[in-house]
Copies of this chain bind each other. A is one copy, B any other.
Amino acid sequence: MSDKVKIIKPQPISGFPEYLPEIRRVEQLWQDTARRVFERYGFCSIETPSVEAVEVLAAKGVVDKEIYVLSRLQADEDEKTEGRLALHFDQTVPLARYVAQHFNGLAFPFKRYQMQRVWRGDRPQDGRFREFYQYDVDVIAVDNLPLHFDAEMAQVSYELLAELKIAGVRLHISNRKILQGFMAGIGVADAAPIVRIMDKLDKIGAKGVQETLQKSGLVNDSQIEKCLTLAEIQAADAGEFQQKISVLKIDNEILSEGISELSFVMDYLKDLPSGAVLADMSIARGLDYYTGTVYEGRLINDPGFGSVIAGGRYDDLASSYINKNLPGVGISLGMTRLFSKLLKDGKLPALAPSPTQVLVALPNEEMRAAAQAIAQQLRARGINTEVYHAPQKFDRQLTYANKKQIPFVWFPDSGQVKNMATGEQVAADAASWQAY
């Protein structure tokens, strides 16, 4: 043991999550499940570099985001010949850049998923994640993208949550054209500031929205009343939605288009279990960016937690990078946020800290070769196997198996295998034995 070296006791870094092996295995399960669901719908995987040129990140006017810029610890003069690089803060800007850069190598509609880490340069004091996984699914078309894909996004999102056995997340859906047309219909010229206030309905409540709108001086009392009536419309299906929104009696072409689109999406999703999706007129999500369907996934029992899924349709993915009309629709699942919440609430499945299925015990050093031979036979048959590392007392070897939650222990001296859950011990042959 070296005691010459000064010991630096490592501390967790705020906002950069790290898990023990048993939790990491649940994270792997999530990633595997997401991949399976996304590929079932024909989405292909891409990965982009962790960095983009700062000018690329800034092209969409997102310089106000907190981004991490890289600098070489030993930078020198030639550094200045290259533009600055920064860690990406989402997977949408990288997707836009990717599609523009590789346009001729891709088949459209381009269906891709992307499950990478993203970074937000928040202040450590703020306690937010500064590094986290997002699972993004998008489809990008040239010129025209059928509305069916808007429904498919909700379907994929629902199936992923169902396969992960995550209850308690509901996908709220609206359509930007409804808000836009509605505002025009009630005589509001500049919808953006009004919508930003209405978007806070789930956080500050109807009274809060009403007061904020009054203070803004942008709308009169009659308009405020109409806005609140609209924002409070929620419907479980297309029929209920159309009935509720028709009561407003506002005539506007864009509004009608939005109603028709949202009705289509809700109708398409009619076979999902009740409560999985909800038409919700209070959902706005980044007025400047989305142009049609918008999604927001929220925890049913903890609406104040904020969104765990976000997305929508955009007319124009990559116009900053290429002279093509590329409409798209996509969702982004904030998996680290959701994972961390379920972990904290004790709602993740309990997995063993090790993938090992069989521990071959080591009775004495002379039997090492026999133990290894059994292990190799089991491995060749796809069974994850370890040989215990030293000829210690069996009690100690069983304690190790228990600590790692290894389900079976093989005794090469007696030729028996012990089921650690039941205690049952039977004769076994490595050439034919089945773990389950």
Contact = CB atoms under 8 A, between A and B. Distances in A.
Classify the interface of chain A: helix, strand, loop or mixed. loop
Interface string A11-28: 111001111110011011
A384 B76 CA distance: 50
A30 interface: no
A137 interface: no
Interface string A61-77: 00100111111111010
B55 A111 contact: no
A77 to B, nearest CB: 10
A148 to B, nearest CB: 7
Interface stretch (A178-186, A244-252, A351-359): A351-359
Given A10-B56, A50-B131, A141-B389, 7 more contacts: A5-B319, A10-B101, A50-B119, A54-B73, A74-B121, A107-B403, A148-B387
Contacts of A72: 66-69, 121, 123
Nearest to A386: B42
A204 interface: no
Sort chain A's interface into a size bin: 35 or more
B45 A28 contact: yes
Contacts of A47: 18-19, 24, 27
A389 B70 contact: no
A1 interface: yes
Given A8-B59, A8-B321, A74-B121, A354 B404 contact: no
Contacts of A1: 316, 319, 323-325
Interface in A381-424: 382-387, 389-390, 400, 403-404
A112 interface: yes
A21 B44 contact: yes
A346 to B, nearest CB: 17
26 contacts: A1-B323, A2-B316, A6-B320, A11-B53, A12-B101, A13-B52, A13-B85, A16-B49, A17-B49, A20-B105, A25-B45, A28-B45, A39-B384, A40-B383, A41-B379, A66-B72, A67-B73, A69-B72, A69-B73, A70-B87, A70-B121, A74-B121, A81-B124, A107-B353, A148-B389, A149-B389
Contacts of A53: 10-11, 13
A63 B385 CA distance: 39
Contacts of A102: 20
A78 to B, nearest CB: 6
A91 to B, nearest CB: 13
Interface string A139-165: 001001110110000000000000000
